[in-house]
Amino acid sequence: METITTKPVQTSSHTTPMDVFIDIVRILLDNALTWQVEGINEKENSLLIQVSYQPQLTRHRKALENMKSILADYGYYVKGSPNDDAEQNS
C-alpha cells in the first residue's frame, strides 16, 4: 500500500487595493499559489484575499515577499512617508 504524504499548507489574508490587484494576481498565478477572495470593501475599493502556500517552498516564500512588498509600497505611496506629517505640523 502506498502512503500519501501531504506537505503542510499555511494561509494568510491580505487586503489588496484594486489599483494593484492585477499585479498581485499575476504573482499568484505565476507561482501556482491557491487563492480566493474572502471579502470586498467597496468603500476602500479593495479585496480581502486569502492565499494558501507551502512555507517550505522557496518559490512560494519569495512570491509572498514580493506580494507584501507591492502592498507595502502601495500603502506608502497612498499614505505618504511618516515624515510628511511631521513636516506639515512644524
Per-residue pLDDT band for 2 (boundaries 50, 70, 90) equals: low
**In this predicted structure, what is the pLDDT of residue 43?**
95
pLDDT digits (tens, 9 = 90+) for 23-82: 999 999 999 999 999 999 999 999 999 999 999 999 999 999 999 999 999 998 888 765
Q: What nine digits make up the cell of 61?
A: 516564500
What is the crossing angle of helices 58-79 and 21-30, to 10°? 170
Could you tell me the domains of the chain? 10-74 (3.30.1370)
Task: Provide the whole-model pTM.
Answer: 0.78
Q: Is the pLDDT of residue 4 over 70?
A: no
* pLDDT at residue 90 in the model: 47
Here the cell at position 15 is 487586503
